[in-house]
């Protein structure tokens, strides 16, 4: 039985819990896999440490927390330092290159690009940085198809923001593929 563990981490207010929920929705509703999502955040509403974990499996999930992380998104230096220790050998570490200057050491693949700046400059709104990151995670992990992940994104956002989020997802997906090919 395959079990794939993802962690979206950064600071409160970056939309990482939403990104985790959408990833779990893509896996469970659109891919027909088993998925569970959990979250934790510091006492601060914004700015404190925040993480969202998603387990995707083709069979029943007996434990809903990450034990050996396959893929980690770290949107802040603090998140990279705090959560990279349980990243599996050969796993994937996705970093925001503007905010994570010291790359944690380890036997995993590191991909980085300026996620928040991409949202701000390429998409036009910083608020969709979480969807840019989600697109990148979908591209790098291969756990859900691009089409099903996009369906999950578009079914999760207000109608007025569908095109903005479609663009954010697509740009994140493409940038991750380009960055991982280098």
The structure's pTM equals 0.95
Class of the domain covering 3-181: alpha beta
* Total residue count of the chain as it appears in this document: 182
- Strands 3-11 vs 69-74: parallel, antiparallel or unpaired: parallel
Q: What is the per-residue pLDDT across 111-121, written as a single tens digit (0 to 9) for each?
A: 999 999 999 99
First vs last C-alpha separation in the chain: 32
- Residue 9's CB is within 10 A of a number of other CB atoms, namely 25
Residue 181, pLDDT score: 86
Range 98-120 average pLDDT: 96
Whole-angstrom CA distances from 49 to 15, 57, 58, 83, 150 are 12, 27, 30, 11, 27
pLDDT category, 46, cuts 50, 70, 90?
A: low
The strands making up 3-11's β-sheet, listed across from edge to edge, are 34-41, 49-57, 3-11, 69-74, 87-96, 109-113
Which has the closest alpha carbon to 15: 146, 103, 128? 128
Nearest to 180 by CA among 145, 153, 142: 142
Residue-wise pLDDT for 117-167, tens only, equals 999 999 999 999 999 999 999 999 999 999 999 999 999 999 999 999 999
d(CA 140, CA 114): 16
For 10, 37, 54, 108, 112, the CA distances from 65, given in Å and listed in that order, are 17, 8, 8, 20, 25
Using the predicted structure, report yes or no on whether residue 48 has a pLDDT greater than 80: no
Give the closest residue to 135 by CA, choosing from 127, 124, 145, 126.
Answer: 145
């Amino acid at each position: 039985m395959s079990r794939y563990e993802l962690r979206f981490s950064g600071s409160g207010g970056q939309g990482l819990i939403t990104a985790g929920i959408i990833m779990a929705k893509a896996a469970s509703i659109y891919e027909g896999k088993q998925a569970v999502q959990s979250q934790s955040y510091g006492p601060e509403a914004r700015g404190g440490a925040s993480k969202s974990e998603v387990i995707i499996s083709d069979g029943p999930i007996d434990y809903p927390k990450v034990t050996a992380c396959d893929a980690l998104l770290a949107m802040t230096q603090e998140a990279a330092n705090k959560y990279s220790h349980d990243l599996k050998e050969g796993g994937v570490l996705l970093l925001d290159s503007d905010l994570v200057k010291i790359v944690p050491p380890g036997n995993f693949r590191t991909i980085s690009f300026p996620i928040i700046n991409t949202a701000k400059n390429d998409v036009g709104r910083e608020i969709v940085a979480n969807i840019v990151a989600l697109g990148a995670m979908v591209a790098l992990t291969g756990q859900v198809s691009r089409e099903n992940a996009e369906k999950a994104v578009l079914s999760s956002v207000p109608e007025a923001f569908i095109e903005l989020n479609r663009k954010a997802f697509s740009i994140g997906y493409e940038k991750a593929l380009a960055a991982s090919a280098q």
